[in-house]
Structure 1
Amino acid sequence: MAHEDDALEHERASWKPSPGLAVAVTDPVQPPALPPHRERITDKDPAAMKRAVRTVYTLFYLSVAASIWAVAAYMIFPIEDGQIVSIRDNNLFIGLGIALALLAIGVGAIHWSKAIMSDREFIEPRHATRGRDTTRTAVVEAFAVANEESGFGRRAMIRNSLFAALVASVIPGITLFRGLAPQNEDPVELLSHTMWKQGMRLAHDPSGEPIRAADITLGSAVHVIPEELASLGHAEGYLDQKAKAIVLLMRMLPEQITEAPDKKDWSYDGIVAYSKVCTHVGCPVALYEQQTHHLLCPCHQSQFDVSNGAAVIFGPAARPLPQLPITIDAEGYLIARSDFLEPVGPSFWERH
């Protein structure tokens, strides 16, 4: 049996096809070929190409006009009177201008890529992830080809109108942000003084009820406004004054507080009061963790240590929260010793 197996193996190894015998050879699977290129109407008709070019730069200039309209609407429809109709019109027309400006840029860019830029199909072979010595040259060549195919370098009207649309699109945002700043007044001076003054009682926000020191429990955090502010109701100037004077009141064990020598009498029996306005960009700091005595600003995660002068322990805030000096009156109500002794709010207002 073993001899038969050896003979069979020898026969298989020595077998060769006869000259007239066809042998099937299996080739590797080839990638499918690219489909035939279909020319667009703009490729075949110069007039259609000119119309497409005009459409694109018209959309870009329309974006410029919409951005200018958004700025004009900001001035045509002011909101200083506080009326709902004024606020509605202001938001509506500014929003329409900004939306149209961005939409025109997007539609123009898409039409440019679909109707004007080269749409020739090509195969890009894969290569090793490690760069070669010729990579820089290849990148320059790729940019040159992209410039040629897109027409960015030679189609001046499209290029210039795109630049104009992009520049104009940021103008409404700059205008709106400029409106947030005080007009014709020194912001440092405005933020250096609030409604707090010597003897003014601390009151609950928004009820305006005065606060007794005995009612503040250990570990609590109370939102506070000046008592006189509550009497204004929602009259003109109420929100401006509240935005500067808002305070957070907290209580801890007196021995847990580290106080600077010149601020020894700024707290009362473990009760401290700090401005709620973050010194980064002015967000309300109101998330209090009673175990660590940390205050967190929810906007950019600045953290302040209330037990150590509200010092910054994390985040982008540049300085501690301003402290309101407090004590009690003859009836046991918490009162302010004075106004804040430094400007409240973002530190950037103090830069010159």
Structure 2
Amino acid sequence: MTPDDPKDPAGQHETVPGTSPGASPQGGVVPDSRGEFTPVRTDTPVADPGLPAHQWRPTDVDPKLEKRAERQVAGMFVAAQVFVVLFVVSYFVFDIGGDGDAILGLGASTVTLGLCLGIALLLIGVGIIQWARKLMGDHEISEMRHPARSSDEDRTATLEALRVGTEESGIARRPLIRNTLLGSVGLLGVPAVVLLRDLGPTPGEVATEQPYEGAGLANTVWADGMRVVRDVIGTPIRAADLEIGDLVNATAAALYETNEEGELVLEGTERLIANSKAPVIVVRMEPDEIEDVDGRENWTVDGIIAYSKICTHVGCPISLYERTTHHVLCPCHQSTFDLADGANVVFGPAARALPQLALAVDDEGYLVAQSDFDEPVGPSFWERG
């Protein structure tokens, strides 16, 4: 039969007796005029399948397995306490910056402290997970969503949930787990108390009793008569060699002093600390361009002036110099200091001027310091005042 056949105009389908047009003889879905399928509607809702049957755990049915799981959890908590004690012991046994290396060149103090505290936290976490998986109640429940409001019913339900949770956890009837958990978590506060020792001594105490040269926030290795040397290479700077507009990154000669065996006097942590505070920038400008500052009239040498290279904002190194304005810029947060006017702040977040190093010339014509800085270098700290 073709679409031109008068019995099937426009290619329509035949209607099966007993069915309505567009319906399937089997009662399912039929294609409509657009070639899509329309599902058959039904008034019967989908039944709630409910929760699957509860599967009992081995520890729920075997008292021996239950006791073994309890001992496992308690053992983890006890082991965590042991590692906390080892943390405290390691803190006092291994010195920071000591000669003993452990793994991949890392200091023994760093490795032992990190491992002991990390393993203690891991054991507590694994113990709690094991407790929840093996011993706590695991009955599946379903709950209708409640309105998001605080009512008397909500508070009552919350308290009841806490009571049920406490009862299901078995913490009241498992004193071994409860006591070992409290002990391990309680001992975690000991490292925090021990580490408070690193908050002292105060900068004032270090200033009066220096364990080594330049120790403390308020001190550096600069001293009267110490030569100013070029950074990295350590060669002294002759005043006559500097020209107008020159800027030299310099530091203290103490960082390059050697003993009879040719070894550096300052090494390890002491050298790092000294090198973090000693760097200066040495600039030469016309003497009449330098603004007079009370008490600093003799701190320069023929227009040669030296300031700390450590920014007073957050301690970034400074050496971006603009010779026409005598401004030096910190690359971190754009604090700008005027070296011709006492290194006062002219722009940026820094709150203080750069500390100035008093300069002089020795018998050989090299630049030397007259003393240490008259104020702490670098960012502010609580005790600075």
Common topology (TM > 0.5) = yes
Could you tell me which of 372, 377, 383 is aligned with 1:339?
Answer: 372
Shift of 1:243: 1.6
Given that residues 251 and 270 in structure 1 are in contact (C-alpha distance below 8 angstroms), is that contact kept between their aligned partners in structure 2? Answer: yes
Question: Counterpart in 2 of 1:18?
Answer: none
Change (3 A) 1:81 1:121: closer
The one-letter amino acid of 1:205's match is D
Question: Counterpart in 1 of 2:125?
Answer: 106
For these two proteins, the number of residue pairs brought into alignment is: 318
Could you tell me which of 222, 229, 245 is aligned with 2:255?
Answer: 229
Query: TM-score by structure 2 length?
Result: 0.63
Match of 1:306, SS state, is strand
Query: TM-score by structure 1 length?
Result: 0.67
Shift of 1:208: 1.3
What are the superposed Cα offsets for residues 26-70 of structure 1, whole Å, 9 maximum, x if unpaired? Answer: 344456522221111222233332322222122111101111112
Could you tell me which of 345, 349, 361 is aligned with 1:329?
Answer: 361
The gaps in structure 1 that reach 5 residues or longer are 1-11, 13-22
Change (3 A) 1:228 1:136: same
The one-letter amino acid of 2:251's match is I
Match of 1:225, SS state, is strand
The one-letter amino acid of 2:307's match is A
Given that residues 195 and 241 in structure 1 are in contact (C-alpha distance below 8 angstroms), is that contact kept between their aligned partners in structure 2? Answer: no
Question: Counterpart in 1 of 2:12?
Answer: none
Report the Cα distance in structure 1 between the residues aligned to 2:248 and 2:193, rounded to whole angstroms. 37
State yes or no: 1:276 paired with 2:295: no
Shift of 1:339: 0.7
**Greater RCO (CA < 8 Å, at least 6 residues apart):** 1
Shift of 1:202: 1.9
Report the Cα distance in structure 1 between the residues aligned to 2:188 and 2:243, rounded to whole angstroms. 52
Match of 1:43, SS state, is helix
Change (3 A) 1:59 1:273: same
State yes or no: 1:295 paired with 2:317: no
Question: Counterpart in 1 of 2:230?
Answer: 204
Question: Counterpart in 1 of 2:25?
Answer: none
Q: Pairwise mapping of residues 88-99 of structure 1 onto structure 2 (< 5 A)?
A: 89-99=108-118
CA RMSD of aligned residues (A): 4.6
What are the superposed Cα offsets for residues 265-316 of structure 1, whole Å, 9 maximum, x if unpaired? Answer: 6567585422638787xxx53266658845377xxx8x8553354699549x
Higher-Rg structure is 2
State the percentage of identical aligned residues: 30
Question: Counterpart in 1 of 2:149?
Answer: 131
Match of 2:308, SS state, is strand
More helix by share: 1
Given that residues 188 and 349 in structure 1 are in contact (C-alpha distance below 8 angstroms), is that contact kept between their aligned partners in structure 2? Answer: no
Given that residues 202 and 336 in structure 1 are in contact (C-alpha distance below 8 angstroms), is that contact kept between their aligned partners in structure 2? Answer: yes
Report the Cα distance in structure 2 between the residues aligned to 1:39 and 1:179, rounded to whole angstroms. 52
Given that residues 59 and 66 in structure 2 are in contact (C-alpha distance below 8 angstroms), is that contact kept between their aligned partners in structure 1? Answer: yes
The one-letter amino acid of 1:133's match is S
Change (3 A) 1:279 1:293: closer
Report the Cα distance in structure 2 between the residues aligned to 1:294 and 1:114, rounded to whole angstroms. 60
- More displaced, 251-260 or 265-274? 251-260
Report the Cα distance in structure 2 between the residues aligned to 1:262 and 1:252, rounded to whole angstroms. 20
Shift of 1:240: 2.0
Change (3 A) 1:320 1:41: farther
Question: Counterpart in 1 of 2:317?
Answer: 286
Given that residues 226 and 369 in structure 2 are in contact (C-alpha distance below 8 angstroms), is that contact kept between their aligned partners in structure 1? Answer: yes
Change (3 A) 1:182 1:322: farther
Shift of 1:226: 0.9
Match of 2:356, SS state, is coil
Q: Pairwise mapping of residues 110-189 of structure 1 onto structure 2 (< 5 A)?
A: 110-127=129-146, 130-134=148-152, 135-152=154-171, 155-172=174-191, 175=194, 178=197, 186-189=205-208
Given that residues 322 and 342 in structure 1 are in contact (C-alpha distance below 8 angstroms), is that contact kept between their aligned partners in structure 2? Answer: no
Shift of 1:204: 2.6
Shift of 1:333: 4.8
The one-letter amino acid of 1:326's match is A
